[in-house]
Chain A
Amino acid sequence: DIQMTQSPSSLSASVGDRVTITCRASQGISNYLAWFQQKPGKAPKSLIYAASSLQSGVPSKFSGSGSGTDFTLTISSLQPEDFATYYCQQYNSYPPTFGQGTRLEIK
């Protein structure tokens, strides 16, 4: 199975900040990488697919990049509603695997 490793595991930031979360795959996955946001007690929400394409309705403050094994999710101008846990997932090969999550907290 492909292992997905996110860093950092947790992150404190302030409203208005720009933050970057990294996801590394244990082997190359081309651009078959998605990002999800999850708030406590809620279902995940899809943000980005194909490493850099925004899901419909997702604001442009979210952006993704990368290919192969190294990927990033960047969130600009943090707002209170952005504080959540973020997961990456590879869907290049079965089984699809998730990173362990990055908890973004308010400083």
Chain B
Amino acid sequence: EVQLVESGGGLVQPGGSLRLSCAASGFTFSDHYMDWVRQAPGKGLEWVGRTRNKANSYTTEYAASVKGRFTISRDDSKNSLYLQMNSLKTEDTAVYYCARGAMTGQVDYWGQGTLVTVSS
């Protein structure tokens, strides 16, 4: 069974940093692209970024709203995905989901999410 479990959310002040983790199990993590998607309270879904797999050199893509502030990384030996968030803004407040990219390009599995609150 595919499982994705996020952790690391919490309350942080504007300008601060936070690192989210996503522990994957039930599939060959190293084969898959992985995404981060967020959802602000009461709002819709927003794609944050993606890391490709080793075969594609672990290259990354980011939404314009987070580029230069957020960094996605992965450790295939630990079946883990990370999101390093720096220079956080109040508008980054959201539930952050990790999601698996299927071989056909779409997201097919989602974690349960972790809440990040940016507030003074």
Contacts and interface: CB of A to CB of B under 8 A. Distances in A.
Interface of A: 32, 34, 36, 38, 42-46, 49-50, 53, 55, 87, 89, 91, 94-101
B56 interface: no
Contact of A95 (B63, B97, B111): B63
Given A44-B45, A89-B45, A95 B64 contact: yes
Contact of B47 (A46, A49, A97): A97
Contacts, number: 57
B2 to A, nearest CB: 10
B34 to A, nearest CB: 13
10 contacts: A32-B106, A43-B111, A43-B113, A46-B110, A49-B106, A50-B106, A87-B45, A89-B106, A91-B107, A98-B45
A30 B106 CA distance: 14
Interface in B37-74: 37, 44-47, 61, 63-64
B107 A87 contact: no
